[in-house]
Amino acid sequence: MNNSPAQDTLAQDFVAFAVESKVLRFGEFKTKAGRLSPYFFNAGLFDDGAKLGRLAEFYARRLVASGLQFDMLFGPAYKGITLAAAVSIELARLGQNKPFAYNRKEAKDHGEGGTLVGAPVQGRVLIIDDVISAGTSVRESIEMIKAAGATPCGVTIALDRQEKATADGQDAAESAVQQVQQHYGLPVVAIATLADLMGFLDGQSDPALVAARPAVQAYRQRYGV
């Protein structure tokens, strides 16, 4: 989904927040695909109440602005669990009380049993995660949602890296986000994208951020979609 001008402000605010929180860092980092990336986004570092609450606010505002219709949230283990819970709280605060569920990595053989926890998985289900790297988490979530008799209706993430996916060591023509959109026909709603990150860096005077921009630009030219 394309960002409107009003949403661009939201994206810029989010990138600034991620940098301030040291969740988004610049340097040299090896990705799962084996690439050396000049930036790293680690949503696990939204690790206190204030930061998690603000993150949930960004997700909720983006979702409301997107107009995407959904009945509940599904958070894939592990990061998605916290995200689903936090965003459901924020959505309720905004007057949209949505149930949420998540999965266990291993099935429980006592108590209520099974791999799904939380509200019954039914209706239009929105998958929530931090990023889409290989699409594995999304694929597994779709399978679990369908197995429960519900309908996956979209995915929401914090950051769309907008870079080519890899398969068997080869660069694909599309990003992992585009593959999810094309293969499953699901909309993907991101709070911010790599383009938004570049826009943020364009307006900076901090020497460290100014110095980071050429490397991010070069990475985008090489791997971007």
Which are the catalytic amino acids? 108, 110
In Å, what is the CA distance from 119 to each residue of 73, 98, 125?
9, 10, 11
Residue type, 208: A
By the 10 Å C-beta count (0-12 exposed, 13-18 middle, 19+ buried), 149 is classed as: exposed
125: β partners:
72, 152
Q: Which helix (H) or strand (E) holds 203?
A: none
Give the residue from 123, 119, 181, 121 showing the smallest Cα distance to 156. 181
